[in-house]
Amino acid sequence: MKRPLLALALSLALHFHARSADSLALTPPMGWNTYNTFAGNFNEKLIRDMADLLVTSGMRDAGYVYVIIDDNWTGARDSLGFLTVDAGRFPSGLKALSEYIHSRGLKLGLYSDAGYKTCGGYTASRGHEFQDAMVFARLGADYLKYDWCNTEGIDARGAYATMRDALLATGRPMVFSMCEWGNNKPWLWGRGTGQLWRTTGDITSCWSCIDDHGGKYNSYGVMQILDMQEGLRAYAGPGHWNDPDMLEAGNGSLTATESRAHFTLWCMLAAPLIAGNDLRTMSKGTLEILTNNEVIAIDQDSLGIQGFRHTGPDSLETWYKPLKGGDWAVCFFNRGSKPLHIGHDWKKDVTHDDVAGLELNCARHTYSLRDVWKKTRIGTTADGLAATIAPHDVLMLRLIQ
Ligand code: GLA
């Protein structure tokens, strides 16, 4: 083949490959993961309980379908090099648990790492990628989170492409969640490799803090993670998502208001919604946050546009997200520690989304306003908006065409 023809064929192949990879997660994945609450303290009973609770609480029907078993599930390799399952945690075997999860209308997520060992020191996939992918497929996995501990000297792009190819070779569709903490700017090359990529180090359950784990690594509060998303929105879209890490709603020192704001902001970011709270002790308030269908609809909007913010005076941030059919989500967020009285003159609100090439023009068009947390109509953009927003709280509106 002549050079230009070869280049064209190659770029078409890459284009179609990226598009078919995208189809595995056309909206941000939703589920529940063991790590934020349980780290390594889980077994098959706990995961069955969580699967049951996802169903009975209504979370599954709200969209949380992936049950993701994070680090600490693998055993040693057998004599042929196949990965085994930690038998202490899974006396009935992981296949039985997988069948149970599927029988409840849920999907199974598993975890591995590109090094020889996971972050928790358990067996990981380096040098066994194709064999491990085969095991994940046999176990009925629908999702793989692939971590980045113990990978000194390895090329990230190559390591993630190897596991992507290994997953593809099994013939079983598995969402591929790339967890290399943004170290190698995966937003620049992740599309066509995985469906979501972590943009930061780990989240922790505080509003604003940095935990340095005795100088070993940092984990970050909700506000720190939020600010690290700046500049990344152009790289996200249907099937290829920036992942600002899992939800801490209902965890640690977050108040109910902060949990609600955290969830709202993740929805404005079109983030994957992976809950990480203990569903056995979840409060009614946390459940209401996690299952508000109008808020989730903003995250799951089929345009898949990640929102953006305008920073105003007095700790006010105004977030915008274009939605399908000409609607917009607009969220007023009080980052400060005092109640904030806001007055918003909609008729002066002409906001451009330079990445998506869309414009919210309230000067030319009147939208009706819906408070999606309260699920009530609150007038139109023909009138000014006056509201008081409590510290760390949000007012999230859907502007309806
Ligand atoms: C890393 C990841 C976390 C979690 C832990 C498990 O820190 O970033 O999300 O998977 O490893 O050990």
CATH for 348: 2.60.40.1180
Cα-to-centroid distance, 16 and ligand 1 (Å): 31
Residues 11 and 81 occupy one common structural domain: yes
Q: Is 387 exposed, middle or buried (0-12, 13-18, 19+ CB in 10 A)?
A: middle
* Residue of the CA atom closest to atom 6 of ligand 1: 71
Give the domain-ending residue among 274, 299, 324: 299
Supply the range of the domain harboring residue 352. Answer: 308-400
State the pLDDT at residue 13: 60
272 and 354 in a single domain? The answer is no
Predicted local distance difference test score (pLDDT) of residue 21: 87
Residues 6+ apart with CB under 8 A from 183: 148, 156
* pLDDT bucket at 6, cuts 50 / 70 / 90: low
Same domain, 23 and 162: yes
Of 265, 299, 333, which residue is a domain's last?
299
Mean pLDDT estimate for the chain: 96
Best probe residue, ligand 1, of 32, 35, 145, 203 (max atoms within 8 Å of C-beta): 35
Q: How far apart are CA 187 and CA 236, in angstroms?
A: 8
Q: What is the pLDDT of residues 14-45, one digit of tens each?
A: 566 667 888 999 999 999 999 999 999 999 99
State the distance from the centre of ligand 1 to the C-alpha of 149, rounded, in angstroms: 8
Residue of 32, 144, 147 best suited for mutating to test ligand 1, as the one with most atoms within 8 Å of CB: 147
* Percentage of residues in the chain having pLDDT higher than 70: 95
Cβ pair 174, 141 in contact under 8 A? yes
Same domain (yes/no): 162, 202? yes
CB 296 within 8 A of CB 267: yes
Same domain membership, residue 205 and residue 61:
yes
Residue 232, both tokens: 């990344």
Please tell me whether residues 257 and 324 are part of one structural domain: no
Q: Are residues 65 and 21 in the same domain?
A: yes
* Shared domain check, 80 and 11: yes
What's the 42 CA to ligand 1 centre distance in angstroms?
Answer: 15
pLDDT tens-digit readout, 196-246: 999 999 999 999 999 999 999 999 999 999 999 999 999 999 999 999 999
Residues 337 and 288 in one domain: no
Asked whether residue 251 falls in the same domain as residue 289, the answer is yes
Cα dihedral sign, 178-184-188-193: negative
Examine the domain organization and report whether 258 and 239 are in the same domain: yes
Distance CA 111, CA 101 (A): 16
**Across residues 162-183, what is the average pLDDT?**
98
147 is catalytic: yes
pLDDT at 299: 99
Q: Which atom of ligand 1 is nearest to the CA of 111?
A: 10
Which residue CA neighbors atom 11 of ligand 1 most closely?
119
- 265 and 330 inside one domain: no
Instruction: Say how many domains are in the chain.
Output: 2
pTM: 0.96
Q: Kindly indicate the confidence band of residue 312, based on its pLDDT and cuts at 50, 70 and 90.
A: confident
Residues with CB under 6 A from ligand 1: 35, 70-71, 119-120, 147, 179, 202
Residues ≥6 apart with Cβ < 8 Å to 338: 391
Give the distance (Å) from ligand 1 centre to CA of residue 150. Answer: 12
